[in-house]
Amino acid sequence: MSIGDVARRGGLQRPAPRSRPGSSSRRIGYARVSTKTQELERQIRALKAERCDEIFKDTASGKSLAGRPQLREALDSLAPGDELVIAEWDRATRSMWDGLQILKEIIDAEATIRVLDRAYIDLTSPIGRGFMAFISAMAEDERLRIIKRTHEEFITLLSGAAIWPLVANAQQAERVRRIGVLMPLTADDPLGQARIVALREGLGKLGWIEGRNIRIDTRRMTTGDVESMQRFAKELVALQPDLIVTQSTPITATVLQETRTIPIVFALVADPIGSGFVANFAQPGGNVTGFVTMVPSMASKWLELLKEIAPRVTRVAFLFNPATATYFEYWLNPFKAAAVSFAVGAIGAPVRDQSELASVIAEQARVPNGGLVVMPDTFTDAHRLEITSLAARHRLPAVYPYRQFTAVGGLLSYGDD
């Protein structure tokens, strides 16, 4: 059960969106990324939608408020009646003490605060502010756990598979081997960053050190950007690496179209046999191998959990993007079959781009006793903040496939992590 569920059970569900502050007050926005290679666009877009009068932006990885000068300036500029709107709480705070200090300064300034990715918490009340401090402590602990868990799992699964073409050439005189990586997570996505770090560390433990005997060429793209995906696949193949690591079904298919000789190691592919990547799990054949961490029977578990937390649910939508989840029937068919045993109506809820998310989720929320299950899909993963925020805003009970959804406010997740 996620912290979002605890919040709702504790009466911390946020009321309907408030109107702007008084005419003499200001609405101040704050967004942050860690490095100049990361993008602020998503956070800025969310703050502009809230009609902020001024937006402060940090590009810094400071571990204290002193290391986030724009946040410091935003806090210092607060006047009585102002409202500070933070796009993502984890971007503003790094620890429980950070959170407590920010909340105290806002109270001392007689201002208010609203956090977009924690919309279910009413920060105008002492209980809500106390719960937010508790979340900061949990987030700090979770951040450490994610790093440790990602390292362990990704090292075990990916590094073991990735090493086989390198070992095959071990008898040759040592030279710098080249690994290409193509993934659908942008440079500012913490999950993508953690996976790259885990790959490097896993290879390092096996004796392959970047800068000494391997070189890793990484290409990242926004989910659904087919043009970039095809261009990056061609670029990596043109480099003639010793192997290419891919993440997601569409990316693996695209790289496979470019080469039938360079070894490909895939991760997080839904249906490698049905997608034609491998002949079977025991003997994949060809130039492709990898691992699968989730199976279609999990659809039944998602429905079971949804009925446990929301027993009155009678109609459940399965959210996915058919352009990125080209394998959607792999999940949708067992989902519909399992729905019969839970006496609920199951429907597919395809969305083709980000602009359709609001209308599709709102439509499901308008139906009495509706619920939502989110399909494992690079599109839904990339837009997890928007999806969880919309579900919380419409008070739509939802179950998600990965822990990173609950980390940004989702109700409950069940998956391989």
Query: Both 229 and 310 in a single domain?
Result: no
Query: Both 323 and 380 in a single domain?
Result: yes
Query: Both 245 and 321 in a single domain?
Result: no
154 belongs to a structural domain: no
Q: In terms of C-beta density within 10 A (0-12 exposed, 13-18 middle, 19 or more buried), how is residue 350 classed?
A: middle
Query: Both 271 and 352 in a single domain?
Result: no
The pTM (predicted TM-score) of the whole model is 0.60
Query: Both 134 and 186 in a single domain?
Result: no
Query: Both 74 and 123 in a single domain?
Result: yes
Query: Both 25 and 131 in a single domain?
Result: yes
145 belongs to a structural domain: no
pLDDT in tens, the chain (417 residues): 443 443 333 333 333 444 445 557 899 999 988 766 567 888 888 899 888 999 999 887 666 677 889 999 999 999 999 999 998 887 788 777 888 888 889 999 999 998 887 766 777 777 777 777 766 666 666 555 655 555 555 555 555 555 555 555 554 446 899 999 999 877 777 778 888 888 888 898 888 999 899 999 999 887 777 889 999 999 999 999 999 999 889 999 999 999 999 999 998 888 899 889 998 888 888 999 998 888 888 999 999 999 999 999 999 999 999 988 989 999 999 999 999 989 999 999 999 988 899 999 999 999 899 999 999 998 998 899 899 999 999 999 999 999 889 988 898 999 876
Query: Both 315 and 263 in a single domain?
Result: no
Q: Last residue of a domain, which of 270, 290, 310?
A: 290
Q: Last residue of a domain, which of 264, 290, 316?
A: 290
157 belongs to a structural domain: no
Catalytic residue among 19, 23, 24, 34: 34
383 belongs to a structural domain: yes
240 belongs to a structural domain: yes
181 belongs to a structural domain: yes
* 372, 373, 401, 411 from 344: Cα distances, Å: 12, 13, 19, 20
Query: Both 215 and 266 in a single domain?
Result: yes
pLDDT of residue 398: 96
Query: Both 236 and 336 in a single domain?
Result: no
280 belongs to a structural domain: yes
CATH code, domain carrying 182: 3.40.50.2300
Query: Both 42 and 125 in a single domain?
Result: yes
150 belongs to a structural domain: no
Query: Both 202 and 268 in a single domain?
Result: yes
CATH code, domain carrying 131: 3.40.50.1390
Q: Last residue of a domain, which of 90, 108, 140?
A: 140
Query: Which domain range does residue 196 map to?
Result: 163-290
Domains identified in the chain, total number = 3
34 is catalytic: yes
For residues 381 and 410, give the distance between their C-alpha atoms in angstroms, rounded to a whole number: 12
pLDDT of residue 138: 65
pLDDT of residue 49: 86
pLDDT of residue 394: 93
Q: Under a CB-based contact definition with an 8 Å cutoff, are residues 252 and 378 in contact?
A: no
